[in-house]
Amino acid sequence: MKEVMTSLMDKQDRLITENTALILRLAECEKASAINQELKEEIQEIKKQNEVLKATCQNYESSLKSLQIKVQYGITDRAEGGLGDNKLKEL
């Protein structure tokens, strides 16, 4: 009977130790999960900002191409003896 009680108490001690280790591991996992969630939210915000920047960049590229065409027509117009400014205003 004494051996059974000793065995049960040893098993209880092992289970308590294992449970404590699992509780600590769970706490670490919950912290990591919270950090991951924050990072996911930051990544989503960065993606949104990136999309806005891409759109702005495309607008600037479009404007630049338009200006390059206008300058090219202006240079061509001047080379042909025209003023160029009138051609730019037309475009």
For the chain, what are the domain ranges? Answer: 2-90
Please give the average per-residue pLDDT across 6-32, as a whole number. 97
Q: Residue 82 pLDDT > 80, yes or no?
A: no
42-59 CB burial, b ≥16 within 10 A, e <16: eeeeeeeeeeeeeeeeee
Round to whole Å and give the CA distance between 29 and 18.
16
Model pLDDT, residue 89: 55
Q: Residue 53 pLDDT > 80, yes or no?
A: yes
Q: Residue 55 pLDDT > 90, yes or no?
A: yes
Round to whole Å and give the CA distance between 76 and 89.
14
Mean pLDDT of the residues in the chain: 88
- The vertex-36 CA angle with 31 and 37, nearest 5°, equals 100
Q: Alpha helices, DSSP H only, in the chain? A: 2-79, 85-90
Q: Residue 86 pLDDT > 70, yes or no?
A: no
